[in-house]
Amino acid sequence: MSQQVTQEQQISILIAGIGNIFLGDDGFGVEVAQRLLRRVDSAYPDSVRVVDFGIRGIELAYTLLDDYDLIILVDTLPCLGSPGTLHLLEIGATQKEQTQNLEEAQYVYLDGHSMDPVKVLSFAHTLGARPKRTLLVGCEAATSLNEESELDFQPGLSHEVAQAIDGAIQMIDCLVQEISC
């Protein structure tokens, strides 16, 4: 009986790797998710789900309806400092911002070939996803992420971003261990 209570009290966590593997460093989140999925020694509890969403924003939005307690997005950030620098950010909005985002979300266009996490979260809320704690494990890109460069086929991560993958995995492992205990 006590085992059932423990399982019921576990915090459900979604780790969502996002990005486009054909656009250089934008594939960072995908690579992190793939490495987490390939680990044989995964010590994550059953309440933790790792998914490589790639550019499938609509699928992520519908997955957010599954009522996770914590969402960990893994993605690339524009380079504002040193390429390969990792950041842990909490994504949250004030009540006014949430209301404005919901009003704007009805006009959101989700492109089938890219993913904008802010638009996906707004769309998910219009579908009925309840507000959750959302964290972003982000890595500053070495390659440009502007719209013009998105047209250029650039497979593979830069050296700096590839070197940051192990650190991102350690960060995620620490988050899961801290939160699920």
Task: Report the alpha-carbon distance of residue 107 to residue 81 in Å, rounded.
Answer: 33
* Strands of the chain, DSSP E: 13-18, 48-54, 70-77, 86-91, 133-140
Domain count, the chain: 1
pLDDT of the chain along its 181 residues, tens only? 444 434 456 889 999 999 999 889 999 999 999 999 998 667 788 899 999 999 888 899 889 999 899 999 999 998 888 999 999 999 875 444 444 544 554 444 555 545 677 778 888 888 888 767 999 999 999 976 654 444 567 788 999 999 999 999 999 999 998 886 6
Q: What is the CATH number of the domain that holds 74?
A: 3.40.50.1450
Token pair 């933790």 in the structure block, residue:
48
Its sign, for the CA torsion 109, 91, 68, 30, is positive
Domain region containing 11 = 2-180
pTM for the predicted model, two decimal places:
0.81
Q: Are strands 13-18 and 70-77 parallel, antiparallel or unpaired?
A: parallel
Q: What is the pLDDT of residues 96-113, one digit of tens each?
A: 444 454 455 444 455 554
Task: Report the alpha-carbon distance of residue 115 to residue 55 in Å, rounded.
Answer: 5
